Homo-oligomer: A and B are copies of this chain.
Amino acid sequence: MTKEEEILQAHITSHRLKVTKERKAILNVFMSTERHVTAEELYREMKNRGSSIGLATIYRTLNLFCASGLAEQRHFGDGQARYELTYNVHHHDHLVCKQCNRIIEFENLEIERLQEKVARKHHFTIYSHKLELYGTCEACSKEKSKSKPKSKAKSKKQTTK
């Protein structure tokens, strides 16, 4: 049993929920796919692999992952929620290429510190934050004026810091 399965298990039993084959299957695929998937993408991927789990269950289960602390939900401005595993992953923010939808993760402790400073100045208590830099990635700025992605782009390419 992976550490992630254990965490899910712990959350499930402590909340009097139930371990089902669907939840295990979704966790498996979720861990094996790229980061920042949408519910739809995960649904299609599971279908491709022969699963017959419904979309509603995918949504429910991703929410469960978030509740258990395994994952986090993100919005990158295209109207769909994206999910990423956060267990054992350092906090980070994102660079989002609007050309190819590539997502680059970064962390910057200096920025985090300054955020805290701003909050203190306003007597504000931060419990989460969102920092996204939108623009054009290196690859896209080189191949100037290539074809633009569709709004529903399913670009899979991503880089990590």
Interface residues of chain A, those whose CB is within 8 Å of chain B, are 75, 77, 95, 97-98, 104, 106, 108, 110-111, 114-115, 118-119, 121-138, 141
Contact = CB atoms under 8 A, between A and B. Distances in A.
A83 to B, nearest CB: 15
A63 to B, nearest CB: 15
Contacts of A108: 114, 118
Given A95-B124, A111-B114, A126-B134, 4 more contacts: A97-B124, A98-B127, A119-B133, A124-B135
B95 A122 contact: yes
A77 B118 CA distance: 20
A1 B127 CA distance: 44
A25 B53 CA distance: 51
6 contacts: A95-B118, A95-B122, A124-B138, A125-B135, A129-B132, A129-B133
Contact of A133 (B77, B97, B115): B115
A55 to B, nearest CB: 19
